[in-house]
Amino acid sequence: MAVKHTTEKALQMLRTLPRVTIGNIRDNPQSKQNVKRGRGQHGGDKHGAGNKGSGQRQNYMRLGYETGNTPFYMRFQYEPYYKGHHLKREYPPISLHQLQKLIDTDRLDARAPIDLTTICNTGLFEIRPDRLHHGVQLTDVGADDFRAKINIEVQHAPESVIAAIERNGGVIRTAYYDPHSLYAVVNPKKWFEKGVPIPRRMLPPQDAVEYYTDARNRGYLADPERISQERLVLAQKYGYTLPKIEDDPDYAMLVEAKDPRQIFYGLNPGWVVSLKDRAIIKQKE
């Protein structure tokens, strides 16, 4: 039977619907609005600001204020413990144990000179010149198990590390890099992509000249004859026989060194390396 009137249609719909009870009625959507701003941090309409006082007004005291008392930093005289600490050079450590592991896993080639660039190219160490990093320091952790014969250049090394490397017939050298050169050393690819000349390494500052000119530290500015004498002295002190690198078949690799103004092996300052053209643009003589 067809429905003819709206009234009959409504009555027919009511017959099919369930009976209206308290369990199946609800308000229309968005018919009620909560006047509070949510729970906040605690319990309701204070929206996390507390009840009265400076907490509600969010008028907090500045750091170091002691409610009228003489502040702590003014109660005592100045002590220059940290004077100039924001200017001090940082040398992230790398141990001999880590160095041996890098060589054993072929991340470093012991048949070629190792410097800061090759260490950064492993992808396991990050040098940040913007955080006052000036290179790496080689520590003596794993010195007894170090067996590689290498030619390595670092920025700082203690006496025990020098002895561990020279005991195996290797050569170690400590060298300084200025911050501008470090940006090119730690990421050569990024530097070459800019298409700018290779920078010339600056000499160390006044407070670092003594370290890098001392033969006991194997400084790159030290006298080679003094370094040869100190190699013998260190061998006698630690009780090992110093190998003669002159008779070593890898003598050419062991004595290879950079010029004090040079930052890359085989590339002189002022040259431009074009990765796109696979060419090296040299200066005119």
For residue 84, give the DSSP letter.
Answer: T
The 10s digit of each residue's pLDDT in 7-52 is 888 888 888 888 878 888 888 888 887 766 555 554 556 666 667 7
Residue 224 lies in a domain: yes
Residue 135 lies in a domain: yes
Beta strands in the chain (DSSP E): 93-95, 137-139, 151-154, 171-174, 272-274, 279-281
Phi, psi of 82 (to 5 degrees): -110, 25
Q: Give the range of the structural domain holding residue 134, as residue numbers without chain letter.
A: 86-281
Entry pTM: 0.71
* Per-residue confidence (pLDDT) for residue 39, from 0 to 100: 55
User: Domain containing 248 — which CATH number?
Assistant: 3.100.10.10
How many structural domains compose the chain?
1
The 10s digit of each residue's pLDDT in 89-127 is 999 999 999 999 999 999 999 999 999 999 999 999 999
| Selection from 54-63, 67-76, 88-97 with the highest mean pLDDT | 88-97
> What are the Cα distances from residue 26, in Å, to 6, 35, 256, 264?
26, 20, 87, 78
The 10s digit of each residue's pLDDT in 224-278 is 999 999 999 999 999 999 999 999 999 999 999 999 999 999 999 999 999 989 9
Residue 51 lies in a domain: no
Q: 243: burial class by Cβ within 10 Å (0-12, 13-18, 19+)?
A: middle
Across the range 157-186, mean pLDDT stands at 95
Residue 107 lies in a domain: yes
Confidence of residue 283 (pLDDT cuts 50, 70, 90): confident
